[in-house]
Amino acid sequence: MICICNSILYRLVCKIYYLYTKSTNLNIVYREEFDFTVEVNVKKSNNIINKIYPNSIAEEVGIEVGDILISINNQNVSDIIEYKFLMSDEYLEIEIENKDQEIIIYEIEKDYDEDLGIEFSNPIIDKAKSCRNKCMFCFIDQLPKGMRETLYFKDDDSRLSFLQGNFVTLTNMSEDDIDRIIKYRISPINISVHTTNPELRIKMLNNKNASKILDIMKRLAKESIVMNCQIVLCKGINDGDELERTIKDLSELYPYVNSIAVVPAGITKYRDGLYPMEIYDEESAKFVVNQVESFQKDLLRKIQTRFVFLSDEFYIISGSEFPFYDEYEGFLQFEDGVGMVIKFESEVDRYLEENKSTFNKKIVSINKKIVSIATGKSAYSLMKRLAEKIMSKISLLDIRVYLIENDFFGKTITVAGLLTATDLIKNLKNVELGEKLFITRSMMKADEEIFLDDMTLEELEEILKVEVVACQNEGKDFLDKLLTI
């Protein structure tokens, strides 16, 4: 509450609040001559509801898009974890401010695991916590200038780890943050470990707090918090004996440390002034593959799981044979690039076998249909192999696969998900692409059809003069879209 004793000052304050917080409500109460009280009620913009699910509790009781969640059972909701924790009660009093600025309290009885059926304009409700590390291998530090601002934000937020699968270092957390993980049962949580050697971890993350990682993880394990771990492997730094130490330390926390993914550091051409890094070649990658496969055999015998898994890049760089489908144990680290090749190929093989009698009937044509696939160096051999398999089953398809080199980030970046529209245009602008061009959906922003270089899918189509179809990393989605020509 702000007391204003001058009408000019009062108008000035109103103007300031209007300019800086257009969602602010100002309730003006006249006290006496030139004496006003301005009651400032700032809307909780982070709690704005932007989606109501059909047939949900929220829809049934009349909550609407644009309404603001104020409290649940008289408790303010500071973030999405607190929201989900409070939602677990079977009786709720939900305080909502509607678009007319009226406060409505809804009394709701529900099942323990039933949600309201709403989403917020800010997914975590609160401001995302940023990373204060200066990791020697940080990919964001290797981005060129001029990209959209959100790409330069480094998050290190356990809530995003729980909700979206992001990895956190645990280095930027206070004791209160760790207590909240335990209190609200934020599990599973994905942790970027890299090494359990305290001195080496300080060096790699350039943060004096980085040495506490194993102590924090032991504390979380004691409270039955499940963790999946990532090791970004840097040649000559945390591999070899250091990798052996890290795997041994983490395996002792099984089953609460559920799995480890080992991925090579991504090295772009924008590393001026950064820590000098070497790229894995065939020989050094082969050493990593042999070392990890040896650990897998030993751990499978000791704890009945292979526990540590390599990203596909190590097998591709080294020329090693991929593990069998079942050896990925359910693809626990799929989003970290572990097992994508085998899973995708297996799904395509199975789909081809199950539908072999119907494929040609779906294509209404007497002539072959030409389509194209654009991919990065890492997946090129796979896509060539799959194209041959598909064409052997579907005689009316002519599939052309194009290897796209990454000029935007540098040729050392070989995964398809980091290709840009600029790379696609440079390689394909004057190429006859046929009916459609197929790409992976991972090239674009998760919630928007826009590439890393800020070009939209529609703009790409206009330049290449072909329909561009984005496919998920799953065989059925790819083949279903391939056959709609």
One-letter amino acid at 37 equals: T
- Same domain flag for 365 and 425: yes
Residue 228 belongs to some domain of the structure: yes
Same domain (yes/no): 156, 303: yes
Is 130 part of any domain? no
Task: Transcribe 278-339 into DSSP letters.
Answer: PPP-HHHHHHHHHHHHHHHHHHHHHHSS--EEE-HHHHHHHTPPPPPGGGGTTTTTGGGTSS
Residue 132 lies in a domain: no
Query: Which candidate, 420, 412, 444, places its Cα nearest to that of 270?
Result: 412
284 and 198 fall within a common domain = yes
pLDDT in tens, the chain (485 residues): 233 333 333 333 333 333 333 333 334 333 333 333 333 333 445 688 888 889 988 889 898 888 888 888 888 877 776 777 777 788 888 888 888 888 888 898 888 778 888 887 766 554 555 567 788 988 878 888 777 666 654 544 444 434 444 678 888 778 888 888 888 787 888 899 999 999 999 999 999 989 999 999 999 999 999 999 999 999 999 999 999 999 999 999 999 999 999 999 989 998 888 899 999 999 999 999 999 999 999 999 999 999 999 999 999 999 999 999 999 999 999 888 899 999 999 999 998 888 766 665 555 555 788 999 999 999 999 999 999 999 988 888 899 999 999 999 999 999 999 999 999 999 999 899 999 999 999 998 877 899 989 899 999 999 999 999 999 989 999 998 988 77
Radius of gyration for the chain, computed over Cα atoms and rounded to the nearest angstrom = 27
Report the pLDDT value the prediction gives residue 29, as an integer from 0 to 100. 37
Residues 110 and 157 grouped into a single domain: no
Tally of CA atoms within 13 A in the half-sphere of 135 that contains its CB: 29
- Assess if residue 331 is contained within a domain: yes
Asked whether residue 190 is assigned to any structural domain, the reply reads yes
User: Residue 46: what pLDDT?
Assistant: 64
Same domain for 261 and 294? yes
User: Would you state the pLDDT for residue 385?
Assistant: 95
pLDDT of residue 321: 96
Please tell me the chain's helix, strand, coil percentages from 3-state DSSP, rounded to the nearest 5.
40, 20, 40
Q: What is the pLDDT of residue 27?
A: 40
Give the pLDDT score at 446: 79
Q: Which of 120, 153, 186 is the last residue of a domain?
A: 120
Domain identity same for 292 and 189: yes
Structural domain including 234 reads 140-335
Residue 31's pLDDT is what? 34
**How many domains does one find in the chain?**
4
Does residue 127 belong to any structural domain of this protein?
no
Q: What is the DSSP string of 242-279?
A: HHHHHHHHHHTTTTTEEEEEEEEPP--S--TTSPP-PP
66 and 21, same structural domain?
Answer: no
The domain boundary, picked from 88, 120, 152, lies at 120
The pLDDT, as a whole number, for residue 484 is: 79
16 plus 65 within the same structural domain? no
Buried b (16+ CB within 10 A) or exposed e, 451-466: bbbebebeebeeebeb
Among 316, 335, 354, the domain boundary falls at: 335
DSSP letter assigned to residue 89: S
The C-alpha angle with vertex 435 and arms to 430 and 437, in degrees rounded to 5, equals 65
Same domain, 363 and 279: no
The pLDDT value given to residue 129: 52
pTM here is: 0.75
Looking at the fold, whether 50 and 37 belong to one and the same domain comes out as: no
Statement to judge: residues 175 and 264 lie in one domain: yes
CATH number assigned to the domain comprising residue 227: 3.80.30.10
CATH number at residue 113: 2.30.42.10
Within-domain flag for 223: yes
Q: What is the pLDDT of residue 394?
A: 82
The reported pLDDT for the residue numbered 148 is: 66
Distance of CA 465 to the CA centre of its chain: 31
For residue 41, the model assigns a pLDDT of 39
Statement to judge: residues 201 and 271 lie in one domain? yes
177, part of any domain:
yes
Residue 6 pLDDT: 38
